[in-house]
Amino acid sequence: MSPDSVRLLNGSSLCSGRLEVKSDQSWSSVCEADFDQQDAEVVCRELCCGPPSVLQGALYGEVEAPVWSKEFQCGGHESALLDCRSSGSARNSCSPGKAVGLTCSESDDVRLVGGANHCGGTLQVKHLGEWKPLQFIDCTLKEAAVFCKHLDCGSAVSIEQSPQSSVWWVNSTCVQSGSALRNCVTTEGFSSAVELTCSDSVRLLNGSSLCSGRLEVKSNQSWSSVCEADFDQQDAEVVCRELGCGPPSVLQGALYEEVEAPVWSKEFQCGGHESALLDCRSSGSARNSCSAGKAVGLTCSGRRGAAALMWFKLTLFFY
C-alpha cells in the first residue's frame, strides 16, 4: 500500500527527491529548518524505503509554494510523518535552497506490512523485483527472530499464519544447506503467510535462548544497556511478558557480559502490569554511566506454550 500523505519528487527513484506533505488535499514543501534526521527516518519507513542516507536542502529543486507551516518533532518510531508531534509556531515562507531534499537507501529485501508499526505485520520478501508474503512452514520463534534482528526490531514475540492469494514459498531444507534465499524461493498460488510480531523496543542478548540475556532497550533508533540499580523485579516481569516469555527466574548483573555504552539514562518504575517496558513510568534523574558488572542480565522462564526450538542458519540477503 503506497502512502497518501508524503512523496518525494524529482529524484532518481521513489526513494529520493524533494519532500512534499499532503494536508486538506494540498501538497506542501517542507523547510529544512523544520525537519531533522528522526523525521527523515519516519518518512523513509513510510515510503517502504531503507534508512535515510542524505538529508540536504535544494538537492532536488527549489522550494515551491505552499510551504508546510509547522516544525515536525518525530521521535523516530512513528509509522507515518503525520503521526508525529509538531510545533506550535507557524512558518509561511522558506529561504531559497532550503526545501528538504531527501535520499533514502533502497528498501530491504524483507519487510513487515499491515501492522501497527514497522515491527509487526505480514512478512514479505522482495524476489525477482516483486514483493509477496512469505510462506514458511513450521516457522518457529527462533527462526523468526532472524527477521526481527534484520529489521532492527528486537526479538520475535508471536507468529501466526494467515491466508494469502499468492506467496513466496521457502524450502527450509534448501535454507538449512546454506544456500542464498533467492535459490530457495519459489512461487505458489493460494496458501498461508507468516504474520510476525517483533518486540520492537526490548531485546535480550548473548543468552542461551530468546528468553535470556543482557537487556537492551531501544529509543531514537539506538539500543542501550540498562543499569542494575535502575531495574527491579516488577520491571523484569514486564520485559518477560513483552517478549512472550514466562515469569522472570533470574535477575542479576553481568550474567551475560559487561555493560556496553550507551547506558539507559532513567530508572524504570513499572507497576508490573504494563504490557511494554516503555509504557512504564521512569524517574526524573538521569544516569550517564554504569559500574562494571552492573548491566542487567535477565533470565525468563520458557516461552508460554512453546515447544523445543530448532535453530538453522537463514541467509536473508540476495546474492
pLDDT in tens, the chain (319 residues): 346 789 888 887 778 888 999 888 888 888 888 888 899 989 988 887 778 887 876 666 565 567 888 889 898 888 789 989 887 676 666 777 788 888 887 666 788 888 877 888 888 887 666 788 877 766 777 778 778 877 878 888 888 887 765 666 666 677 666 666 566 766 655 567 788 888 888 988 888 888 888 899 987 777 888 988 889 999 999 999 988 889 998 887 766 666 555 788 888 999 988 888 988 998 877 766 777 778 888 999 876 443 322 222 233 333 3
- Separation in Å, CA 319 to CA 50, 180, 183: 18, 7, 9
Q: What is the DSSP letter of 246?
A: -
Check if the beta carbon of residue 239 is closer than 8 Å to that of residue 198. Answer: no
Q: Which residues belong to CATH 3.10.250.10 in the chain? A: 6-104, 110-198, 211-300
State the pLDDT at residue 310: 25
11 vs 202: CA distance, rounded Å: 36
C-alpha cell at 38: 528522526
Q: How many separate helices (H) and strands (E) can be counted in the chain?
A: 4, 21
C-alpha cell at 266: 532513567
C-alpha dihedral over 311, 161, 3, 149, to 10 degrees? -10
What CATH topology corresponds to 6-104?
Mac-2 Binding Protein (3.10.250)
State the pLDDT at residue 1: 35
State the pLDDT at residue 124: 85
Check if the beta carbon of residue 69 is closer than 8 Å to that of residue 26. Answer: no
State the pLDDT at residue 307: 31
What CATH topology corresponds to 211-300?
Mac-2 Binding Protein (3.10.250)
Q: Which residues contact 12 (CB under 8 A, 6 or more apart)?
A: none
C-alpha cell at 59: 538537492
State the pLDDT at residue 293: 74
- How many residues appear in the chain? 319
149: left (phi over 0), alpha (psi -120 to 50) or beta: alpha
C-alpha cell at 314: 537463514
Query: By C-alpha distance, which of 209, 200, 247, 251 is closest to 227?
Result: 251
Q: Which residues contact 38 (CB under 8 A, 6 or more apart)?
A: 74, 75, 76, 220, 221
Pick one of 3.10.250.10, 3.90.740.10, 1.10.260.40, 3.30.420.10 as the CATH number of 110-198.
3.10.250.10
